Amino acid sequence: MEEKLSELLTAARKDNALRMRLLATREAPDPLLAFCEEAGKAGIPITIGELAAIGEEYASNLHKSVNGGAEYPMEGWDDAYEMFLAALF
């Protein structure tokens, strides 16, 4: 999945119209759905579930890396969508 986001980021940096469409998804009624639709139009199919799984997998691996497991729950994980948009600026 991270490869797809990397490919999309590279494409958006080369194509300003794509970059602007991806940034405009922040204003959509359902930003994640709009983002995934724009990615698909660019030939890089991404689902909302895949976006959520990136942060969850990372947080789960951090949690499991502690001997015996962490005794407290993680407060959250990075939002792949927001991190992607930040990389476009």
Read out DSSP for 27-47? GSSSHHHHHHHHHHHTT----
The whole-angstrom distance between residue 6's C-alpha and the CA centroid of its chain comes to 10
Residue-averaged pLDDT of the chain: 85
Predicted pLDDT of residue 65:
59
- Regions of the chain where pLDDT drops below 50: none
CA atoms within 13 A on the CB side of 8: 31
**How many whole angstroms separate alpha carbon 71 and alpha carbon 2?**
29
Predicted pLDDT of residue 87:
93
Q: Model confidence over 41-58: pLDDT tens digits?
A: 999 999 999 988 876 766
Predicted pLDDT of residue 9:
96
Give the domain ranges of the chain. Answer: 2-88
